[in-house]
């Protein structure tokens, strides 16, 4: 259990289904509903953070950051399966933190990133510089995407998941998964072109 976090929100009323609490929060913007919803899954969030970040204090901070992120994200995006979406969002958040920490020595090398940008051609650089330039820009670009697009892009390209598997993991509709990937690729390309042109 997580006393440091679970004590933040207390509610003596009978528990409501996730979908109902989510509906109430989206309708009212009342953080009490979001707090109750997040509280029941906060231990899962913490454990996922601990799995990836390997540090208790950093995982506690990430858990709080995710709550703050949800306060905005859930008002902007439709979520059909909250637990699945929360798990994927938590994992995505941790991976982004790890990538930011690793910087230029990131895990993803060479053509692991390149399939995302089939038509992207860096300016006049050596082959090694092209790879590094592309990877750095892609890492930054991926962090700018909406959570849904970034999650689907990561699952599809980096984890080699099918559309159906992504839909199952995230709770997104199959048509939404395809749309998020398509729009995510387009947004990545626009970001790359815009930011590389200014260098």
Q: Are residues 99 and 173 in the same domain?
A: no
pLDDT at position 199: 47
122 sits in the region (left: phi over 0; alpha: psi -120 to 50; else beta) called: beta
Q: Are residues 61 and 138 in the same domain?
A: no
110 sits in the region (left: phi over 0; alpha: psi -120 to 50; else beta) called: left
pLDDT at position 104: 36
61 sits in the region (left: phi over 0; alpha: psi -120 to 50; else beta) called: alpha
Q: Are residues 90 and 73 in the same domain?
A: yes
Cα Rg of the chain (Å, integer): 18
One digit per residue, the tens of pLDDT, for the chain of length 199 reads 444 344 444 444 445 688 999 999 999 999 999 999 999 999 999 998 998 898 999 999 999 999 998 998 888 878 888 888 888 889 888 888 887 776 533 433 333 444 454 444 433 334 444 445 566 667 777 778 888 888 888 888 777 788 888 888 888 899 999 999 999 888 888 887 777 544 4
Rounded to the nearest 5 degrees, what angle is found at the Cα of 58, between the Cα atoms of 54 and 63? 105
Residue 128: how many CB atoms within 10 A of its CB?
Answer: 9
SS3 30: coil
- Maximum separation of any 2 CA atoms in the chain, in Å: 64
Phi, psi of 124 (to 5 degrees): -70, 90
Q: Are residues 58 and 70 in the same domain?
A: yes
pLDDT at position 110: 35
Q: Are residues 19 and 8 in the same domain?
A: yes
Residue pair 166/97 in contact (Cβ under 8 Å)? The answer is no
Residue pair 120/188 in contact (Cβ under 8 Å)? The answer is no
Domains contained in the chain, number? 2
pTM comes to 0.49
d(CA 64, CA 59): 9
d(CA 189, CA 181): 12
Q: Last residue of a domain, which of 46, 71, 105? A: 105
Task: Residue 182: give its domain's CATH number.
Answer: 1.10.10.10
pLDDT at position 31: 92
The boundaries of the domain holding residue 138 are 108-199
Q: Are residues 114 and 29 in the same domain?
A: no
Q: Are residues 5 and 92 in the same domain?
A: yes
Q: Last residue of a domain, which of 88, 105, 122? A: 105
């Amino acid at each position: 259990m997580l006393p440091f976090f679970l004590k933040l929100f207390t509610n003596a009323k009978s528990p409501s289904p996730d979908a109902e609490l989510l509906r109430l929060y989206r309708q009212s913007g009342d953080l009490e509903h979001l707090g109750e919803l997040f509280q029941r899954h906060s231990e899962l969030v913490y454990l996922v953070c601990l799995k990836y970040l390997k540090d208790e204090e950093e995982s506690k901070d990430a858990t709080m950051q995710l709550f703050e992120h949800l306060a905005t994200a859930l008002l902007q995006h439709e979520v059909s399966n909250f637990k699945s979406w929360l798990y994927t969002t938590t994992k995505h958040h941790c991976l982004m933190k790890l990538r930011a920490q690793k910087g230029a020595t990131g895990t993803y090398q060479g053509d692991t990133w390149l399939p995302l940008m089939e038509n992207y051609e860096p300016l006049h650089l050596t082959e090694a510089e092209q790879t590094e330039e592309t990877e750095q820009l892609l890492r930054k670009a991926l962090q700018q995407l909406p959570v849904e697009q970034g999650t689907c892009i990561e699952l599809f390209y980096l984890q080699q998941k099918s559309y159906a598997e992504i839909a199952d993991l995230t709770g997104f509709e199959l048509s939404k998964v395809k749309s998020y990937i398509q729009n995510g690729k387009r947004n990545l390309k626009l970001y790359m072109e815009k930011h590389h042109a200014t260098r």
